[in-house]
């Protein structure tokens, strides 16, 4: 049976998302994108509503069975960390409203799974995402989108691992 997973890299200004399908051990890109909130949404709650609405639309359309969402890392700026946590909460709520199981991943685990080191640069993750999904070199997307696709790939790689 094919398994379809959405990866979500939450952010209050840019939320990356990517849907990957695994069938008989082969990964394929379904669709990916980024939700950009604009400065016009200067009321933070409007930004959160926009993220929820856009993710809901993606979930309704692509119907992933599972979700992989990046955990909030500890930031030096507590105000930024709080906003990131709220954006993450909106993403979790959108998945929960669609009865999609959510799996949390630390950024370092995703990097280690894809690149081999937990301190990999975003560009290295993007390169490995393109490699795993057999995406030609000329096709590119935002690094937030690559991170989201990386989350989906990481989940598909580790979901049955007893060492997770």
CA distances from 114 to 24, 130, 153 (A): 19, 11, 8
Tell whether 136 is covered by a domain.
Answer: yes
Q: What is the pTM of this model?
A: 0.95
- Provide the number of structural domains found in the chain: 1
Q: Which domain holds residue 60?
A: 3-158
Is 119 domain-assigned?
A: yes
- Please indicate, yes or no, if residue 163 is contained in any of the structural domains: no
The answer to whether residue 74 scores a pLDDT higher than 70 is no
Query: Residue 86 belongs to a domain with what CATH number?
Result: 3.30.420.10
In a domain, 164, yes or no: no
**Is residue 135 situated within a structural domain?**
yes
Q: What is the pLDDT of residues 3-45, one digit of tens each?
A: 999 999 999 999 999 999 999 999 999 999 999 997 666 789 9
CA dist 73 and 75 (Å) reads: 6
Q: What is the pLDDT of residue 88?
A: 97
Q: Would you list the DSSP string of 15-71? A: EEEEEEEEETTEEEEEEEEEEE--TT--SHHHHHHHHHHHHHHHHHHH--SEEEEEP
Hey, which residues are catalytic here?
A: 9, 70, 144
Q: What is the pLDDT of residues 80-103, one digit of tens each?
A: 888 999 999 999 999 999 999 999
């Amino acid at each position: 049976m094919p398994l379809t997973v959405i990866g979500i890299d939450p952010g209050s200004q840019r939320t990356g998302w990517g849907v990957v399908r695994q069938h008989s051990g082969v990964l394929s890109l379904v669709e990916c994108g980024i939700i950009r909130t604009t400065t016009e949404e200067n009321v933070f709650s409007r930004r959160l509503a926009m993220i929820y609405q856009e993710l809901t639309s993606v979930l309704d359309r692509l119907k992933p069975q599972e979700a992989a969402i990046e955990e909030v890392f500890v930031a030096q700026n507590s105000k930024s960390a709080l906003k990131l946590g709220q954006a993450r909460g909106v993403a979790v709520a959108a998945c929960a409203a669609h009865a999609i199981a959510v799996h949390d991943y630390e950024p370092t685990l995703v990097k280690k799974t894809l690149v081999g080191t937990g301190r990999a640069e975003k560009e290295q993750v993007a390169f490995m995402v393109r490699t795993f999904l057999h995406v030609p070199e000329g096709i590119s997307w935002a690094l937030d989108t690559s991170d989201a696709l990386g989350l989906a790939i990481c989940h598909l790689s580790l979901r049955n691992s007893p060492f997770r």
